[in-house]
Amino acid sequence: MTSPLAGILSGPPPQAPPHRSELGRNLTATLVLAVILGLAARVIELRPLELLRDVGNIGVFLKGYLHPSFAHLGEYAWQCVVTICIALWGTLLALLISVPLGLLGARNLSPHPVLYFAARRAMDLLRAVNEFVFALMFVTAVGLGPFAGMLALGIHTGGVLGKLLSETIESIDPGQAEGVTAVGAGRLHVIAFGVVPQVLPNFLSYVLLRFESDIRSAAVIGMVGGGGIGFYLWDTIRSFKDGEAATVILLIVAMVMCTDVISARIRRAAI
């Protein structure tokens, strides 16, 4: 006669509750992350205690920025205008670059796999090289000044906007484009009436956001010879003209804040 406990004793072992296994995974992930952060801290020579030991020197350094000098306010303000113009034309150049790259780099719209691959790799290249590196290259090619800064911003941002446009196109509803195709429309008409209406609001938002980012980049790209207020920021800091450096920083902050507010209002009104 078989004991009623035999089936229980010979059955599969009890499994751990689900919450215990999940807790184990979370704990393992936390430990791995802690190890990675610890190794990264050694690589960058992280020494937070030195901030506490040098707090007096930091205070003396910052004290010089508490008294802005407005002796060259007019010149600095004009350079802020130059900086905005660099960002404006840089974003426009980026727009001209990004549209063809984005159309060819969208898998559901590119006419040929070779063109798709080439457009994708071109966007990767433009995004991989920082605008400051492009600025150094164009300063060598066309000389110091705002033109080099505009080219650097435009080419780098063109790769970023092209990537965003291609991904936006790949996420559209194909039904609208198929409906335009069904009535015998050509490829350009399909893009104009089946694709553009769906991607335009999001793409316009991306363009405005990148313009805001280009303002911030243009504000410092002058440090490498790209023109604008960045040159004066670098010159005043390295010359230990703390009062004038404080004025330049205040103008940059005001310029970025005003640009962000205006851009946000345009984005809300247009989208």
Question: CB-side exposure of 255: number of CA atoms within 13 Å?
Answer: 29
Would the pLDDT of 269 be above 60?
yes
Burial class (CB in 10 A: 0-12, 13-18, 19+), 213: middle
Answer whether residue 80 is part of any domain.
yes
Answer whether residue 10 is part of any domain.
no
Would the pLDDT of 17 be above 70?
no
Burial 70-107 (b: 16+ CB within 10 A, else e): eeeeeebeebbebbbbbbbbbbebbbebbeebbbbbbe
As a whole number of Å, the end-to-end CA separation of the chain is: 80
Answer whether residue 179 is part of any domain.
yes
16: left (phi over 0), alpha (psi -120 to 50) or beta: beta
Residues 127-141: tens digit of each pLDDT: 999 999 999 999 999
Answer whether residue 107 is part of any domain.
yes
Answer whether residue 180 is part of any domain.
yes
- Give me the count of residues in the chain: 271
Answer whether residue 25 is part of any domain.
no
- How would residue 5 be classed by pLDDT, with cut points 50, 70 and 90? very low
Note the Cα 145 to chain centre separation in Å: 24
Residue 64's alpha-carbon distances to 81, 186, 230, 242, 245, in angstroms, are: 26, 66, 20, 5, 9
- pLDDT, mean of residues 120-130: 94
Answer whether residue 193 is part of any domain.
yes
**Predicted TM-score (pTM) of this structure:** 0.79
Q: Which residues are CB-neighbours of 62 under 8 A, at least 6 positions away?
A: none
Residues 18-42: tens digit of each pLDDT: 566 778 788 889 999 999 999 998 8
Would the pLDDT of 124 be above 90?
yes
Domain count, the chain: 1
Burial 40-58 (b: 16+ CB within 10 A, else e): eeeeeeeeeeeeeeeeeee
CATH code of 121's domain:
1.10.3720.10
DSSP class of residue 192? I
| Domain limits for position 208 | 69-270
Residues 223-260: tens digit of each pLDDT: 888 888 989 999 898 888 888 999 999 999 999 889 88
Answer whether residue 54 is part of any domain.
no
Report the C-alpha gap between 77 and 149 in whole angstroms: 18
Query: Residue 134's CB: how many other CB atoms inside 10 A?
Result: 22
